[in-house]
């Protein structure tokens, strides 16, 4: 089977032949028809996540899949061959840059009926990230003020729409060239990050979704009202994340030190900071599919690459400038 793998951290992604997936009793074997590209793929390739996501190399990259079920395990009851599905395979079972992948049944949902395979392939990781940040951790309520950073990107373009669906007033940061685009997604206030300082323009916010980290995260804490919350997907990781991830004591200490400054700043301001590394969830993908089929959320595909060009496709993420998601297709 053809697949795109890395043999060591920081080595180039390359095509190779790999064995067919092993289909367990609770697994669904999917013929990959579309696979979204994510910054997480590149971060794993570079070794940036090897402490909190230790993989045994070589590994097939790819975290998003849309395709057709071709076989199911003996214990699978929710899917059958021929079903069109989408999924974000759980950590340590990724590998959608391949012709086929076996995915745990719990991670899979039927593809939204109203969209194409390409659009479905763009969604799982970013949609689950937005859901878990806004609904689970943020508990965003109608009338609250929400800031979504990088609104034209993969996570941001879905998070803006979800926040509006939840009834929030939404601000976002974007380039001037993307201002009209993010307004069409539902943003009420657009900050040109190249020419304007969001900290000087926004105050009294209930929630921030930060995808940049560093100084941007520090400034985000300062625009929150007391009791507000920031969720970061770029880091730094926090002790509660380390505990829930089951990391060893040495890593937990290191993570505590790494995030100590931002957590102290949050405490002084009377706000909270949580780090999110999204998890797989077929149940949440079913809820997201219902929102998509109702017209409340639409996928945003900025660029499509053929499967043969997967190496080039992953490299394209470094240059930025892609609205929404890039997707490879079989």
- pLDDT for the residue numbered 53: 87
Q: What is the pTM of this model?
A: 0.96
Give tens-digit pLDDT for 64-99.
999 999 999 999 999 999 999 999 999 999 999 999
- pLDDT for the residue numbered 128: 98
| CATH code (residue 80) | 3.90.180.10
Same domain, 37 and 176: no
**d(C-alpha 329, C-alpha 314), whole Å:** 13
Same domain, 185 and 81: no
User: Residue 108: inside a domain, yes or no?
Assistant: yes
- pLDDT for the residue numbered 319: 81
- pLDDT for the residue numbered 218: 97
User: Residue 140: inside a domain, yes or no?
Assistant: yes
C-beta neighbour count of 307 within 10 angstroms: 19
**Domain hosting residue 303, numbered range:** 2-123+299-329
CA distances from 123 to 162, 287, 325 (A): 13, 13, 8
**Residues 6+ away with beta carbon under 8 Å from 52:** 237, 242, 245, 247, 251, 255, 277
- pLDDT for the residue numbered 59: 97
Q: Can you say how many angstroms the Cα of residue 66 is from the centroid of all Cα atoms in its chain?
A: 15
Could you give the 3-state DSSP secondary structure of residue 313? helix
Same domain, 113 and 134: no
**Residues 6+ away with beta carbon under 8 Å from 320:** none
Same domain, 83 and 177: no
- pLDDT for the residue numbered 269: 98
Strands 14-17 and 2-6: antiparallel
Give tens-digit pLDDT for 221-234.
999 999 999 999 99
pLDDT tens string, the chain, 330 residues long: the values are 999 999 999 999 999 999 999 999 999 999 999 999 999 999 999 999 888 888 999 999 999 999 999 999 999 999 999 999 999 999 999 999 999 999 999 999 999 999 999 999 999 999 999 999 999 999 999 999 999 999 999 999 999 999 999 999 999 999 999 999 999 999 999 999 999 999 999 999 999 999 999 999 999 999 999 999 999 999 899 999 988 888 889 889 999 998 999 999 999 999 999 999 999 999 999 999 999 999 999 999 999 999 999 999 999 998 888 999 999 999
Domain count of the fold of the chain: 2
Same domain, 158 and 268: yes
| CATH code (residue 268) | 3.40.50.720
User: Residue 131: inside a domain, yes or no?
Assistant: yes
User: What strands lie across the sheet with 224-232, from one edge to the other?
Assistant: 189-192, 169-174, 145-148, 205-210, 224-232, 272-275
**Residues 6+ away with beta carbon under 8 Å from 46:** 9, 10
**d(C-alpha 254, C-alpha 237), whole Å:** 10
- pLDDT for the residue numbered 244: 86
**d(C-alpha 277, C-alpha 279), whole Å:** 7
Same domain, 256 and 141: yes
Same domain, 144 and 79: no
- pLDDT for the residue numbered 245: 82
Same domain, 112 and 130: no
Same domain, 99 and 142: no
> Which DSSP letter does residue 203 get?
-
Same domain, 7 and 107: yes
C-beta neighbour count of 208 within 10 angstroms: 29
User: Residue 280: inside a domain, yes or no?
Assistant: no
User: Residue 158: inside a domain, yes or no?
Assistant: yes
- pLDDT for the residue numbered 55: 93
Same domain, 215 and 312: no
């Amino acid at each position: 089977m053809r697949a795109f793998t890395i043999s060591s951290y920081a080595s180039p992604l390359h095509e190779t032949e790999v064995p067919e997936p092993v289909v367990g009793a609770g697994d669904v074997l999917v013929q990959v028809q579309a696979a979204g590209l994510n910054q997480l793929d590149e971060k794993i390739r570079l070794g940036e996540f090897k402490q909190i996501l230790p993989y045994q190399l070589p590994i097939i990259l790819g975290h998003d899949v849309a395709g057709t079920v071709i076989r199911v395990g003996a214990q699978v009851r929710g899917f059958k061959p021929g079903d069109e599905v989408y999924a974000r395979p759980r950590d340590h079972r990724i590998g959608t840059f391949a012709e086929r992948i076996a995915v745990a049944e719990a991670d899979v949902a039927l593809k939204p009926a109203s969209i194409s395979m390409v659009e479905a392939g763009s969604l799982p990781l970013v949609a689950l990230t937005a859901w878990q940040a806004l609904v689970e951790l943020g508990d965003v309520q109608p009338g609250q003020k929400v800031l979504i950073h990088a609104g034209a990107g993969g996570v941001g373009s879905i998070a803006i729409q979800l926040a509006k669906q939840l009834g929030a007033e939404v601000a976002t940061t974007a380039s001037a060239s993307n201002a009209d685009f993010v307004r069409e997604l539902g943003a009420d206030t657009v900050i040109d990050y190249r020419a304007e300082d969001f900290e000087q323009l926004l105050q009294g916010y209930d929630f921030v979704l930060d995808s940049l980290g560093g100084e941007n995260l520090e400034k985000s804490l300062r625009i929150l009202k007391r009791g507000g919350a920031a969720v970061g997907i770029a880091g730094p990781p926090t002790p509660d994340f380390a505990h829930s991830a089951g990391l060893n004591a040495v890593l937990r200490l290191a993570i505590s030190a790494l995030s100590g400054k931002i957590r102290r700043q949050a405490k002084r301001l009377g706000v909270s900071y949580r780090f999110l590394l999204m998890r797989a969830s077929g149940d949440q993908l079913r809820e997201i599919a219902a929102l998509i089929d109702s017209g409340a959320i639409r996928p945003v595909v900025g660029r499509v690459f053929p499967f043969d060009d997967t190496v080039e496709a992953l490299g394209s993420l470094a240059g930025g400038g892609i609205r929404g998601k890039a997707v490879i297709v079989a």
